[in-house]
Amino acid sequence: MLIVLDVLMFIVPALFSITIHDYLRHGELSLRRKLIFFSIYLLLINAITLAVSYMRGVRELNFSDMTLSYRLKYLGLGGVLGFLVPFIVCLLTEDIITIGGFIRYGKRFIRDIKRYMPYAVWAAKADLGAEVASSYLNWLWWLIEPFCMMIIYTVIFGYVFKAKEQYFPVFIFTGITMWGFFSRSINGSVNTVRNGKDIITKVYMPKYILLLSKMFVNGFKMMVSFGVIAVMMLAFRVPVSWNLMWMVPILLVLFLFTFGVGCIMMHYGVYVNDLGYITGIVLQMMMYLSGVFYSISKRIPEPFGEVIEKFNPVAFLISAMRSSILYCETPGIMVIAVWGLISLVLIALGVFTIYSNENAYVKVI
Amino acid sequence: MSKELAIEVKDVSISYRILNNISIRSTLFHKKTRDEVFEAVKGVSFEIEKGGILGIIGKNGSGKSTLLRSIAGVFSPNSGSIDLHGHSVSLMALGVGFKPLLTGRANIMLSGLLLGFKEKEIQERMDEIIEFAELGDFIDRPVRTYSSGMHSKLAFAITAMLETDIMLVDEVLSVGDERFKKKSLAKMKELISDEDRTVIIVSHSIETLKELCDKVMWMHDGEIREMGEPEAVLENYAEFMRA
């Protein structure tokens, strides 16, 4: 068993990379180039991972007394890198972006955000308004829906499966709220360009603005849910401390991470017709691995729990949020910072990929 | 040349790739599909002076709308360059991008913001636009309830009232009932009479182009077949279509 893992932890991230690379190039890679890029990824990713583990104090790879935890962490870091690296490689090799190009795109991003932000905000407001106007109980749904979900999950997991977390309803509600924001935004991002067809075939706009506007809508709903959480915390007499402040950076990182991943999914969604099915499956799997209804670190045996929590940002952010608002603990600040940084890289990659390809979008849809 | 140029189009080619969509199955089992390339516009170059009014005519599928869209910046050409000399531009086309669930009023706001206007400026013009569009109570109902005529009336009103330096008009002068047609033609003439405004009109109507334009371009299969005085070009075109 362990031998399989030993081999997998070196190879899987590179396989992951080459699949993404192939998608980025619309499945046009020849077999020879695939092999070349595969070996590049294999070397690059393992070199970075080994360098990180060297810095963390692992001086040599000794398979006989290597812990399972180390292997899993190696695989986890490899997975994260395997997701990031192909975008950088593709931008550098195929789209021929130089350092100057990166800076130019960066400036353009800031200018575009300034210019189109009013549109994104207004569109979000108008969408929320339309949603209210067209439903019978209008804005009450934003409270009723997550509230009912919370009751269902509390009954099933609290009484049927006998979960024993302190303040269990609030615990679950926090998970559902944050997960809901993430999964709705990602699910929506795949079809964003196709749904915005009417507008983008008539006037130019940076395509991620559509995504941003959608995220504002979801973000607003999330805030409403957090209002309910605050009321519930009062009702359950949850003690609060200054650690409550951490919810701001946690939500910020959640927003940035979702935006970064969303941009990338949006780009794929234009070309790959059946991507919606995959995201549906992956999101479902991720939901159970994100501890929406249970505490990962308590329920999943060592060392898996810790690894999942560290390398699955949504799981990490949810548990960090819980520890800061429910249990008066300081969440892992370093890990928040690292995920914040990775989110910024993801956003840069996603936005730049969109910039260099968005001209073709209109012709495809 | 005495007058400054508003639009400079140099050797522009635009091609569409057909069959660009891939599915997961085709990547996994690697069925190579050759992308067919369809060239919609082939090496077109022309220029328009500031204040000029150009009409474009040609049969369906000759690349008129594609050219117009790339001047509007919806997508960039595959080769060649389009220089607008920093002027603002708007494209007026049938079924302008509206969000169907939102009200007419909200859609006016959104279109305006996308065209680069400030919220306040749009708010000031809002009443003018609503009045011109003649939609009555429908302005506060979702756009999905509109008839196709109302749809185009609103679209025309928005682009006509929110004035940009360059206006690209794609086949919208024939919308609505007789009365609205007259009204929009009059509005169009008023807009065109402005010395600084540059206009490109795509139309199939020979009369409209004769009346409005001071230059006409005839496109055929992605190339310029003829360009010059409206009378001469339009006559040749009419003859070609009869044959």
Task: Identify which of A200, A205, A271 has the shortest CB distance to residue B21.
Answer: A271
Per-residue pLDDT of chain B (243 residues; tens, 9 = 90+): 456 788 888 888 888 766 555 555 655 555 555 556 778 888 888 888 888 888 888 888 788 888 888 888 888 788 888 888 878 787 776 555 788 888 888 888 888 888 878 888 888 888 888 888 888 888 888 888 888 778 878 888 887 777 788 888 877 666 667 888 788 888 888 888 777 888 888 888 888 888 888 888 888 888 888 888 888 888 888 888 887
SS3 state at A162? coil
Q: State pLDDT tens for residues A39-64.
A: 888 888 888 888 888 877 776 777 77
SS3 content of chain B, % helix, strand, coil (to 5): 40, 30, 30
Contact A26 B16 (CB under 8 A): no
**pTM of structure:** 0.83
Residue A301 DSSP one-character state: P
Worst-scoring range by mean pLDDT, A90-94, A227-231, A272-276? A90-94
- Cβ–Cβ under 8 Å, residues A215 and A255: yes
**Residue A278 pLDDT > 80:** yes
Return the bridge partners of B187, or none: none
Single-letter amino acid code for the residue at A223 = M
Other CB atoms within 10 A of residue A13 CB: 28
Q: List the Cα angle A125/A127/A130 in 5-degree steps.
A: 110
Q: How many CB pairs under 8 A join A and B?
A: 104
- Residue B91: partners with Cβ closer than 8 Å, 6 or more residues away: A202, A203, B68, B69, B72, B74, B159, B168, B170
Contact A203 B72 (CB under 8 A): yes
Q: State pLDDT tens for residues A52-108.
A: 888 777 767 777 777 777 888 888 888 888 887 887 777 777 655 567 777 888 888
Q: What is the pLDDT of residue B187?
A: 82
Using a CB–CB cutoff of 8 Å, tell me whether B102 touches chain A: yes
Q: What is the pLDDT of residue B1?
A: 45
What are φ and ψ of residue B33, in 5° steps? Answer: -110, 125
Using a CB–CB cutoff of 8 Å, tell me whether B193 touches chain A: no
Using a CB–CB cutoff of 8 Å, tell me whether B72 touches chain A: yes
Closest chain A residue to B40 measured between Cα atoms?
Answer: A363
Contact A204 B116 (CB under 8 A): no
Average per-residue pLDDT in chain A? 84
Q: State pLDDT tens for residues B188-240.
A: 888 887 778 888 888 888 888 888 888 888 888 888 888 888 888 888 888 88
Return the bridge partners of B10, or none: B81
Q: What is the pLDDT of residue A57?
A: 73
* Among the listed residues A36, A10, A50, the one whose alpha carbon sits nearest the alpha carbon of residue A89: A36
The C-alpha atoms of residue A284 and residue B194 are separated, in whole angstroms, by: 59
Q: What is the pLDDT of residue A212?
A: 94
Return the bridge partners of B220, or none: B223
10 Å CB burial of residue B182 (0-12, 13-18, 19+) is exposed
**Residue A227 pLDDT > 80:** yes
Q: What is the ipTM of this complex?
A: 0.79
Q: What is the pLDDT of residue B71?
A: 86
Worst-scoring range by mean pLDDT, A135-144, A246-255, B100-109, B217-226? A135-144
